[in-house]
Structure 1
Amino acid sequence: MTTKLFLLSVVAATIAVTSAVTPSFAARQKLTPDQRAEWMIKRLDTNKDGKVSLDEVKARTEIAFKSFNTDGNGQVSHDEMKAKRQAFREARKEWRKAGKSEEARAEFREKMKDIRPAMLPGMRPKAFKRIDADNDGSLSLAEVTEQAGKMFKRRDTNDDGFIDASDFTKKI
């Protein structure tokens, strides 16, 4: 009888610990392609019609370009990109040190509105060289916008002029 009671209590304790730990592992899982698509559409869809137009992408690209162009000269250099990414890394380190209370998360999200590096064509060194059409070592808004348009056209798999959920479904 004591052995059965002991085994039962071990099983109960295991279940209790497992159920407490499982949500934290679930929170760390990577997003599925469908979740990433939904997140991207939600972030870029400024008029909330459930799809993203080329104009919305260009508007977001211009906002991102301005956030990287810290010296205001109309060009984004390698150094400006590195500085933006480094500021984001430093802010994330601060967040990890501050803990994960809801107050700390809210403060981090507010701070990230200005620091978070938005996606900007040319962020990676090889892409930077490819997008820099005039080979001057920096990216202009025209170069970045042209590349964003190309990326939009690649993502718009059904050629309807919008990126929506149907563009993320696998073709059979």
Structure 2
Amino acid sequence: MMKNTVFIGLIAATAIALAGGTAFARGDRGGAPIDFETLDTNGDGQITLEEMQARGAARIASADTDSDGFLSLEELEAAASERAKTSASQMLERLDANADGKLSAEELEKPGRADRRFNRADADGDGAITRAEFDAAVAKMREHRDGRKGSK
């Protein structure tokens, strides 16, 4: 029975993480990265599976607003929505160069980013992206993304 509870908890934690970002990379509300000291709850210089499970259980408990031991669709959506709001607020704060409370296309696009992406996709450097170059660029991006997922 205990194994089932832990397994269900891990599934729920995974669902929350998928809905709102990676637990390791972000804080509980999509904020700053979680540091080692936060995860090492007993301060012994090591993070154990039990400490990770306790963190997951705490995240689940905070999302389980009716305290029934389960996460309903509404609770998952609320948790994801809260993380999305926090993330959007942080994004606005970080990128709003003229402090007008809005993001323009220029503020969203880092200088030279579109040029770099285009040039990477234009493998032969002829100033145009063929279907083959496009497909190769998409495959490379997927490979890169999947490699990052596998390393976490």
Alignment TM-score > 0.5, same fold: no
More helix by share: 1
Using the size of structure 1 for normalisation, the TM-score is: 0.34
